[in-house]
Structure 1
Amino acid sequence: MSTSVIDFSKAWWSEVYNRIIGAAVFLDDASAECLHWDGGLFNLLMGGAVSVKTLSPFETSSKDHKKAVFITQATSTQLQTVCEIIRNSNFTHCILISCVSLDVVFLELNEGRDVSDVVSAARAPAEAIKQLEGMLQDAMGKTHSIIEVVHIPIFTISPTNVVFLTPPYHKLFPLYDGKLIPDSTSLDLYSLSSSERSHVRRLASGLNSMFDSMNFKEDIYYMGAFSSLVAGVLENSPVCLARRKNCSNPTSLIIVDRTLDLCGVTSHSMDSVLDKVMAVLPRFPGHSNDVAVDMSALCQANVTNPAEDLQLSPGCLYHANEDGCVQSFEYMINKSQKEVMFDLYNKLSKIDVQKSPSPKTLMKVTPQSVEKIVNASKGNYDIIGKHAGVLQQAMAVVHTLKSPKRAQIDLLMSLERQVQQSLVASRDSTSVLHQVSQLIKSRKERQLPLERLLALTVHVYSLTGTEVAFSKQHEDSLRETLSVAIFEDHKTLFAGEESKMATPEECDEIARKIMARLKDVAQMRKILTKYNSVLKRCETGVGHEYRGVLQQLVEDLVDTERPEIPDLRHRNEGIKDLLRSGLNILTSKKSRTSKHPLDNSVVVIFVIGGITSEECKRLHRSVITSGVDNSVLIASTRLVTPVEAMRDVLAL
């Protein structure tokens, strides 16, 4: 049995590569991102694809291309796009690879119809294939044509051997018809909007496909209301029930709502180099877990604005086909900044044309010393071609450490520490919100963007939880300050949207909605009993420190004393236990000992709504230092930065 998600991913990409020979290949963004982490574009071209294009209704293929392969998440919009491309091309052989389980595609194709009999009879995948084949046949309009529809679960990437992410679900966040807190305590899938419901089913189907491939038979645990919905689909859907009958390797799956603890993802206190890079550099186009690196310093191109100039493709961090780069990427998660700098300098020194000082003779590696070696390769395309990966990684780290944004982040780190001290010193009558209001008012002088201060505000509300009751006066003052700031900065705050003039009344309404969300953020841990506080006394006994819900959970999980974890619910608890036990439940004190996640050799901890590489490092370290023999995999929908987390929470 392999517990490697990397092996799972590679095995299914091999199935894709077997089908692309002589084909024009079209991919959606999520599939392209997964491909990037498996080896990238050249895997398709070297595997026999005649062309590779994005899945867009504006794309078509040469008339002499007769075979097409579509790699897609099979949403209704994407299926329409596939048909549009087929109509404008001359294909006689089309293969539709659905990265999502066909039983879920069937439900979406038949939204609003009663198809319960088809689903319960396990005929949904076969019916989906019929519908999709008919759709493709109509688009091709040819009597002599070959059509194939197949499900291949392409949805994971693996930054390290113990961490995996799910790019197709990077937008998934614990919301209930757009709200942070559900209206009702009796939750089911229909408490969600149609798109939220679809995302839950799709994520559950992906995990089901992965567990099927890895022969995992899971016990499901969850923390948080949204996670209970994902757990419910995995526990009860006919496809998952059928799969568990055939799988034999016991596994514990722990699903956790990100909203229970937003401090970790909105904090600017970053030790991990990868978190720093992701917080400073823009995202690689179409990707949620890699960055775009300006490589113009190595080229002869005259580029004035690398972020907008399309004549020069950006570099990136992850290079799957270069072992040294894969190692350096893992160092960016798990090692200190000093160790990462020495690692990069060491790799660069082997290609240095100017013979810079040996890494052994250096006491400290600075961004300038790394940049000097990189710049020495300018225009030498032979060296650039052979060592493109490490040069891109080095430039990413150099640009991050030299960026003016680093000063902003350092200032926010110190502000977070001040806030923490204020909260600990004066839990009842704290003036923290007054401090935040003053920061927002003085943001221009301090050169702090409003979006980073909003992330700090979310951090404050999540940190305090229900332990501090802010005064109405301070909250009203913060709302008024936000309203003015949003009016002044709306063009940068909503830069991705169509630029429009915002009225003071509109900005006031946005500020009111933000305040309502912040109050919800403070209530998120109200449902917890043991982990309702994240401000814990330091082990030294002096002062307090932030210890996140995930950290507390993992420390309890690996504790040899096996303490009670009342906040971790088990899907099998409740009526099933009563039925199993019969009347013994009335006569015996305890019919059986309760299950523990570490009873199984493999544990998967999945965080819905994003995670930081710093959290991944700390959780993994807790497992390693505990000495437990279990394989613990850490997973989430994506790597997230403070500003991205803030936008998810406040719906900006």
Structure 2
Amino acid sequence: MSTSVRDFSKAWWSEVYNRIIGAAVFLDDASAECLHWDGGLFNLLLGGAVSVKTLSPFETSKKEHKKAVFITQATSTQLQTVCEIIRNSNFIHCILISCVSLDVVYLELNEGKDVSDIVAAGRAPAEATKLLEGMLQDAIGKTQCMTEVVHIPIFTISPTNVVFLTPPYQKLYPLFDGKLMPESTSMDLYTLSSNERSQVRRLASGINSMFDSMNLKEDIFYMGAFSSLVAGVLENSPVCLARRKNCSSPASLIIIDRTLDLCGVTSHTMESVLDKVMAVLPRFPGHSNEVAVDMSALCQANVINISEDLQLGPGCLFHADDEGCVQTFEHMINKSQKEVMFDLYNKLSKIDVQKSPSPKTLMKVTPQSVEKIVNASKGNYEVISRHSGVLQQAAAVVHTLKSPRRSQIELLMSLERQVQQSLAASGDSTSVLHQISQLIKTRKERQLPLDSLLALTVHVYSLTGTEVSFSKQHEDSLQETLSVAIFEEHKSLFPGEAGFASPEECDDLAGKLVARLKDVAQMRSSLNKYRSVLQPREGGGSGCSGVAQQLLEDLLHHQRPPTDLRARPHSHPLLRTGLNLLTSKKPRSSKHPFDNPTVIMFVVGGITAEECKRLHRSVITSGVDNTVLIASTKFVTPVEAMRDVLAL
């Protein structure tokens, strides 16, 4: 059985394609993003779909369309939308593809009811199927109709062979009823809000479905309070227990809370080209891991806003049907900027109509030299259609490296280094918050966005942790400065909100932000070995070495797993446990994650391409034979990470 998540995803998309012939297809944003990484819209159209539309109550289908396929996360709102579309169309054959396990859907359909007996007996999926089929039949309203409900686990994308992400869970974050830290040390799922509880179950059900398809029987390890809840569902859910009885390939799953280490994701020190591109370019509409690329350089259209302008669709980075582009995308994660530029120039030179200098004769590839070849293809639609992918990737990198935003990021990088040097040299925090307050006050003169400075502030609090304490005077000064800044830039900080924010509301929000920052500093206080992420570097100075990075290094080079990494022991029958106690001569030592051939490290709450590169490099240089997969809910930028943790 393959341990490739890319193969897992492809296998289940094939199941989808088998059902869409002659159908009008409706899919939600998360499913559409997963489809993009499998090959995109043309996979559906060439596979026989008569139309493809977004899952929206405002969408309908033509009267002659009699069959519909709905690809959905099966939330209550989406199920209502499905019914609305059916009622406004003329379907007689409807297939509902739930990307979420039907036992979880059943729990959500019966929220507040005691259905524990049905769940424990393993009847929840069958009961959910009955309910959903009845819902579809009622919406169709015809006696002669066909309905089908099926679970197909569409929830992963694979940027590389060793990295996978879960777009449906992009908003999942380690929170406890909206707070960063739980109020009680004794926690269960009902410590969370209803939505948070649902998201934990959904993520666990997706991982369970993936393990089922890959024949994996896992040992579960976790670090962080939220990860313990995900681990608990995976350990004790009836469907997970049943699956482990049938699967035979041993694996280790390590789940880590992002909030234990926010330094890596809020740092503007970016070596990975993909991180730079994602920090500068806007997101592709409806996507969490793809960017929108301005393609007006290749055609006659003049685009003002590439994510909203309808006359020219934006380009993107990942092109699943082009092996050369898939390779370049991996280079954007794992290679240096210089190597990526040479790779792009080499591929572009083969299609260059102006015959630019050979890559072998160039000492350095500049954004201008790449841009020259891209611009030379303008209006040549035969070249554009045959080499669309590499042209889009090249345009993305050129726009990123020539953007004014790059100078802002470089300034923020230097500010981060100053903070690290100051703290490493003396552990003195007296000037750090004062510096940040001054930066916020002078942000317009320095042309620094407020949200980037907030990301820098989160970085500082996570970096210092409990090792350094800030004075009340400096924190009060920071709160006052933030209040004024929020008042001045409320609309840019909260673009979706309408209306005016009063000074009192801004004071209140600033107070909440500072309280949240204090919580950020406390996130590693429960750890023993990994309280500090500020590490000395060879040749002097210091840098940030994240919790996941430190943990992986320790696991790769030590026989005993660190105490901060907790394990969830599988429940055993009472008789077997009793016999073990009677016959074992000495207690069994704690299991090591690398005892198993497959190891999956899953960070809940986002990861950067740079972190993926470093983790993968540690595995490669260690020489271990294990297959190590790196996973998270999404790729994240410093500003996005700041918004997640501060709940902005």
> SS of 1:635's equivalent?
strand
SS in structure 2 opposite 1:158? coil
Alignment check: 8 A CA contact 1:423 1:430 kept: no
Measured in 1, the distance between the counterparts of 2:275 and 2:227 equals 25
User: 1:295 aligns to what?
Assistant: 295
Query: Equivalences for 1:240-639 in 2 at 5 Å?
Result: 240-495=240-495, 497-540=496-539, 542-559=540-557, 561-572=558-569, 582=578, 590-639=586-635
Contact 1:98/1:149, CA 8 A, preserved across alignment: yes
Paired residues for 1:6-155 under 5 Å: 6-155=6-155
Partner Cα distance (1:578, 1:254) in 2: 27
Q: State the shift of 1:305 in Å.
A: 3.3
Task: Give the % identical residues.
Answer: 82
Match of 1:176 in 2: 176
In structure 1, give the amino acid aligned to 2:568.
R
Structure 2: distance between partners of 1:170 and 1:429:
34
- Structure 2 gaps of 5+ residues are none
Q: Secondary structure at the match of 1:71?
A: strand
Q: Deviations over 1:106-146 (max 9, x none)?
A: 00001011101110110000000000001000000000001
Q: Is the 8 A contact 2:560 2:592 kept in 1?
A: no
**Pairwise CA distance, 1:431:** 1.5
Unaligned 5+ segments in structure 1 are none
Check whether the contact 1:584–1:591 (CA below 8 A) recurs between aligned residues: no
Partner of 2:206: 206
Amino acid at match of 2:506: C
Amino acid at match of 2:546: G
Alpha carbons of structure 1 residues 69 and 427: separation in structure 2 relative to 1, 3 Å: same
Q: Residue 221 of structure 2 aligns to a residue in which SS?
A: strand
Look up the equivalent residue of 1:310 and give its one-letter code: L
Task: Encode CA deviations 1:15-45: one digit per residue, 9 max, x unaligned.
Answer: 0000000000000000000000000000000
Task: Give the secondary-structure state (helix, strand or coil) at the position aligned to 2:159.
Answer: strand
Q: CA deviation at 1:470?
A: 0.5
Alignment deviations for residues 222-264 of structure 1 (CA, whole Å, 9 cap, x no partner) = 0000000000000000000000000000000000000000000
Q: Per the alignment, do residues 563 and 131 of structure 1 end up closer, same or farther by CA in structure 2, a change over 3 Å counting?
A: same
Answer whether contact 1:348 1:373 (CA < 8 A) is retained: yes
Question: CA shift at 1:463, angstroms?
Answer: 0.2
Query: Contact between 1:296 and 1:306, CA under 8 Å: does it hold in 2?
Result: no
Deviation at 1:303, TM superposition (A): 2.5
CA positional deviation for 1:267: 0.2
Deviation at 1:539, TM superposition (A): 3.6
Aligned equivalent of 2:636: 640
Please provide the CA RMSD for this pair: 1.5
For 2:593, the aligned partner's letter is P
Q: Quick one: structure 1 residues 145 and 578, their matched pair in 2 at CA, closer, same or farther if it must change by over 3 Å?
A: closer
| Partners of 1:14 and 1:588 in 2: CA distance | 48
Question: Residue 538 of structure 1 aligns to which amino acid in structure 2?
Answer: R
Instruction: State the one-letter code of the partner of 1:572.
Output: P
Q: Secondary structure at the match of 2:150?
A: strand
AA matched with 1:48: G
The question of whether the paired residues in 2 share the 8 Å contact of 1:291 and 1:317 is answered with yes
Residue 237 of structure 1 corresponds to which residue in structure 2?
Answer: 237
For 2:365 and 2:428, the matched residues in 1 are separated by 46
Cα distance in structure 1, aligned partners of 2:507 and 2:125: 49
Other structure's SS at 2:108 match: helix
CA deviations over 1:175-208 (Å, ceiling 9, x no partner)? 0000001111111000100000000000000000
> How far apart in 2 are the matches of 1:422 and 1:563?
35
Q: Is the 8 A contact 1:428 1:469 kept in 2?
A: no
TM superposition shift of 1:581: 5.7
Deviations, residues 509-555 of structure 1 (Å, cap 9, x unaligned): 11000001000000000111011100112244x23221110110010
Aligned with 1:160: secondary structure? coil
Read off the aligned partner of 2:250 and give its amino acid letter: P
- Judging changes above 3 Å, is the alpha-carbon distance between structure 1 residues 65 and 218 closer, same or farther for their aligned structure 2 residues? same
Deviation of 1:426 (Å)? 2.8
Instruction: Please give the TM-score of this superposition, normalised by the length of structure 2.
Output: 0.98
How far did 1:304 drift? Answer: 3.2
Query: Shift in Å at residue 57 of structure 1?
Result: 0.3
SS in 2 for 1:529: coil
Q: Conserved in 1, the CA contact under 8 Å of 2:24 and 2:51?
A: yes
Give the Cα separation in 1 of the matches to 2:381 and 2:322. Answer: 18
Closer/same/farther in 2, CA of residues 372 and 429 from structure 1, 3 Å limit: closer
**2: CA distance, partners of 1:641 / 1:249:** 35
Cα distance between partner residues in 2 of 1:14 and 1:585: 48
Residue aligned with 1:45, SS: helix
**One-letter code aligned to 1:175:** L
Q: Measure how far apart 1:430 and its partner are.
A: 3.0
Which AA in structure 2 matches 1:299? C
Q: Matches of 2:104 and 2:221 in 1, distance apart? A: 23
Q: 1:588 to 1:539 in 2, by over 3 A?
A: farther
Q: 1:306 deviation in Å?
A: 2.9
| Equivalent residues of 1:24, 1:65 under 8 A apart | yes
Give me the whole-angstrom Cα distance separating, in 2, the residues matched to 1:503 and 1:558.
53
The answer on whether the counterparts of 2:292 and 2:306 sit within 8 Å (CA) in structure 1 is no
Counterpart-to-counterpart distance in 1, 2:141 and 2:280:
50
1:500 offset after TM fit, Å?
1.3
- Partner of 2:419, secondary structure, is helix
| Displacement after TM superposition at 1:308 (Å) | 2.9
Amino acid at match of 2:76: S
The separation in 1 between residues aligned to 2:508 and 2:575, in whole angstroms, is 52
- Cα distance between partner residues in 2 of 1:471 and 1:577: 54
Number of paired residues? 648
Amino acid aligned to 2:401: L
Look up the SS of the partner of 1:525 in the other structure: coil
**Cα distance in structure 2, aligned partners of 1:216 and 1:158:** 18
TM-score by length of 1: 0.98
- For 1:50 and 1:37, the matched residues in 2 are separated by 21
Give yes or no for contact 1:422–1:430 (8 Å, CA) kept in 2. Answer: no
Cα 1:564–1:131 shift into 2, 3 Å: closer
C-alpha displacement at 1:506, in angstroms?
0.5
Secondary structure of 2:8's partner? helix
Helix, strand or coil at the partner of 1:558: helix
CA distance in 2, matches of 1:271, 1:225: 31
Measure how far apart 1:588 and its partner are. 8.6
